[in-house]
Amino acid sequence: MTLHLKGPVLVGADDVRPEAWVLDGRVTYDRPSSEATTVEGFVLPGLVDAHCHIGLGTHGQVTADVAEQQALTDRDAGALLLRDAGSPADTRWVDDREDLPVLVRAGRHIARTRRYLRDFGEEIEPDRLVETVRRQAARGDGWVKLVGDWIDRSTGDLAPCWPADVLVEAMTAAHELGARVTAHCFGQDCLEDLVTAGIDCIEHGTGLTEATITLLADRGVAVVPTLINIDTFPDIAASAQEKFPTYAAHMRALHARRHATVRAAFDAGIALYAGTDAGGSLAHGRVADEALELARAGLPPSDVLEATCWRARSWLGHDGLTEGAQADLVVYASDPREDLRALKHPTAVVLRGIPRSRPSPPAS
């Protein structure tokens, strides 16, 4: 199938072309001789959900049918490149499906024993961290996911999960295998050890302080804030109030300053990426909602689009709409640079050069 993309085609923030074509599943800016079907609108590379979980549900691993629906929901929302930030499911079969988004895996969460959500991660003690990192690096696609902190029931509050010296060994092991490491971090106390050990990315990052923001910026550590997940903190606090009041108060405080924390990280030059944390208890297909939350935190629209599209694709090692790139793209009726709400209403989704869905426009 040959497509004529009658743009603007937003190749990059500062690279806009009037038109492009899709030929044999690839993007080209040279007009082909074959007849083409015209797709008109504002064209962006496929969006990125940099933190989601395919194959994971509220109680752990889900069936392949449910995982398929998760991936299809993301696809129809325009998220065509997904970083799976931990899943107990073997989702290699997704790679054989031309109609499903490109999936970059981080293996399974590596968690401390009884210090994470039941049936989500591989639960171990620190003496097994290095060997487990090596195994999960082999299971993933260049990423390993640690649970950096979680509630410690003996103290009744968030606490780090791993000793600093073991983290250094674990990061070294992952990097020797060519894998990057990311970590779930809600609180403040785990961050310095993780960053000093050589972490590549922090998930959530609600506990960032002025000192650790400076540290992350100096070390080039990225952050995926998952703001629509952070919106669940008040409910988490309410459910924990009676048994763990200190933890509940801590979660409310982290929630209250979430936007200011993200803005401070952005102002410091930390690379931020849009991730929904879909899977578990959160629905898939909400990448546009996460983009809008980043804007509410104070990021300019151009930087939100970088975090959701161009720069995010590059960060994960995937092309955008450059000549010869795989034709994964989303089309909008209005310009998302002018109003990010356009991201909620794609008019066409093209994956591997084939229109996969054509969502109806919203009712007026």
Residues in the chain: 364
pLDDT in tens, 117-163: 999 999 999 999 999 999 999 999 999 999 999 999 999 999 999 99
The residues, any chain, with a CB within 8 Å of residue 88's CB and separated by 6 or more, are 55, 56, 60, 61, 108, 119, 120, 121
**Residues forming beta bridges with residue 147, ordered by sequence position:** 184
Q: What percent of the chain has pLDDT over 90?
A: 97
pLDDT in tens, 206-261: 999 999 999 999 999 999 999 999 999 999 999 999 999 999 999 999 999 999 99
- Our separate counts of H helices and E strands in the chain read 12, 21
Q: pLDDT value at position 357?
A: 74
CB 181 within 8 A of CB 170: yes
Q: pLDDT value at position 241?
A: 98
CA 328 to chain centre: 17
pLDDT-derived band at 355, boundaries 50, 70, 90 = very high
Mean pLDDT of 281-304: 97
d(CA 133, CA 135): 5
Question: What is the model's pTM?
Answer: 0.96
All domains of the chain in start order, with CATH: 3-44+320-357 (2.30.40.10), 47-315 (3.20.20.140)
